[in-house]
Amino acid sequence: MTAIQTRRRSRNRSDLLVRYAFVLPAALYMIAFFGYPILKNVVMSFQAYDFATFFNGHAPFVGVDNYAATFSDPIFLRALSNTGLFTVGSIIGQFVLGMGLALYFRKRFPLSGFLRSLLLLPWLLPMIVSAAVWRWILEQDNGALNQFLSGIGLISDPIPWLNSSDTALIAVIIVNIWLGIPFNVVLLYSGLQSIPDELYEAGQLDGATGWKSFLHITLPMLRPVVSVVLLLGVIYTIKVLDLIIGLTGGGPANATQTLATRSYEMSFVEFDFGQGAALSNVLIVIALAFSIVYLRANARAAKNG
C-alpha cells in the first residue's frame, strides 16, 4: 500500500466520521426520547411498576397481569368505545366542514387569501387555551352557547354541556371539530389548487357543473389528499389528551374517558405505571396501524403528485 493510498483512506475515514457527526446528535436524541420510551413502555407493561418502585427500585415481572387487568376493566371498554366515537365523530365533522370551507375559499374574491389565513388561528393556539375558552362558552348558567340558544328560543332550560354524561362526549367532539377544521382546510385547499382548471372547463362542455363536477372531477382528483387528511386526522385524534383533560378531565363518570386520558390517569393519578403502560401500548398499536397505512398512502401520493 502506498503512502498516498493510506492517506486517502484515512481522509475518507475522517470524512465519513464528519458525515456521521451531522446525524449523531439527532440520532441520540431520537433514541433517548422515542426509541427508549417505546421500549420502556413495553417492559413496564409486564411489570408491577407502582408507587413503591420509585422508592425501592423493585419492579417485579408479573407476566400479562397488567393486560389482563386492563382488558377486564369496564372503564377500559368505555374508554375504547369513547375513543372510537370521539375519533369518528371528530373526523367526519372536521372533514365535512373543512371541505366546505376549502371549496368556498377556492372561489377568487377580494380578501379570500387573508380570510383563509385567519382560519388557521384555532390550530395555532395552545390546546389548553381552547379548552379554557370553550369551558366558558359551554358553561351551564352564563355560557354563551346556552344564552344564545335560549335567546333564540331553541331551549328553555340551560343544557349542562360538560357536566352531564349525556352531552359531555358530544360537547368534547364539537370542540375538537372546531380545532381540526383549520388543518383540514389547509390541506384540502392546497389539494384543490393542484387540480387543473382545464379539467373543469372540459367537464363544463360535457355538462358536468356544480355537484356533478364535484363528484366526477374534484373528488377523484383529490383522492390522494383526502386519504392523507383522513389518516393523519385519525392519528392525531386518537392521541388527543390536553383538550379532554382541560374540558372534562375524562368525566363526568368516565363519559369522556379515552384510551389516552385513561392511560394518563392510570400512571399519574393511580400511580400504576404498569397498567398505564399496558394501556398506552394498546394506543400505540392502533396509532402505528394507521401510521403504516398513512406512510404508504403518502408515498403513493408523492409518486403520483
Partner 1 sequence: MSTATHSAPVLTATPRRRRPRRSWIHTVIGIVLVAIMLFPVYWMLNASLAPAGNSLNTQWLPLDPDFSGYSRAIADQGQNLVTSVIVAVGACLLSIVIAAPCAYALAQFRIKGTAALLFLVLISQMIPGIVIANALYTVYTPLGLINSIPGLILADASQGIPFAILIMRAYLETFPTSIVEAARVDGCGHVRAFWSIVLPVSKNSLITAGIFSFLFAWSDFLMALTLTTGETIRPVTLGLYTYIGTNDTDWSAVMSTAVLSSLPAVILMIVAQKYVAAGATGGAVK
Q: By CB under 8 A, is residue 283 in contact with partner 1?
A: yes
Q: How far is CA 80 from CA 152, 238, 247, 262, in A?
A: 37, 10, 19, 10
Instruction: Establish whether the linkage from the previous residue to 110 is cis, with ω within 30° of 0.
Output: no
Residues 248 to 277: which contact partner 1 by CB under 8 A?
260, 263-264, 267-268, 273, 276-277
287 binds partner 1 (CB under 8 A): yes
C-alpha distances in angstroms, 283 versus 28, 264, 278?
A: 25, 12, 9
Of residues 246, 248, 255, 256, which one binds partner 1 by CB under 8 A?
A: 246
Residue 227 binding partner 1, by CB under 8 A: no
Residue 96 binding partner 1, by CB under 8 A: no
Distance, in Å, from the CA atom of 262 to the CA atom of 150, rounded to the nearest integer, reads 35
Contact call for residue 205 and partner 1 (CB under 8 A): no
CB 83 within 8 A of CB 259: yes
CA distance 264 to 213: 47
Q: If you compute the radius of gyration of the chain from its CA atoms, what whole number of angstroms results? A: 25
Out of 46, 86, 95, 183, the residue judged to bind partner 1 by CB under 8 A: 183
**CB of 126: closest distance to partner 1 in angstroms?**
4
Residues 14-53 that bind partner 1 (CB under 8 A): 15-16, 18-23, 25-27, 29-31, 33-38, 40-41, 44, 49, 53
Q: 105 to 124, contacts with partner 1 by CB under 8 A?
A: 105, 107-112, 115, 117-124
The nearest distance, CB 156 to partner 1, in angstroms, is 18
Nearer Cβ to partner 1, position 1 or 153?
Answer: 153
Nearer Cβ to partner 1 (157/201)? 201
Residues 6+ apart with CB under 8 A from 184: 94, 95, 97, 98, 99, 102, 229, 233
Going by C-alpha positions, the residue among 194, 214, 195 that lies closest to residue 204 is 214
State the Cα–Cα distance between residues 297 and 25, nearest whole angstrom: 30
Tell me which stretch binds partner 1 (CB under 8 A): 70-78, 160-168, 208-216, 290-298.
290-298
Using rule CB under 8 A, residue 130 touches partner 1:
yes
Does position 98 interact with partner 1 (CB under 8 A)? The reply is no
Residue 67 or 104: the one with the smaller Cβ distance to partner 1 is 104
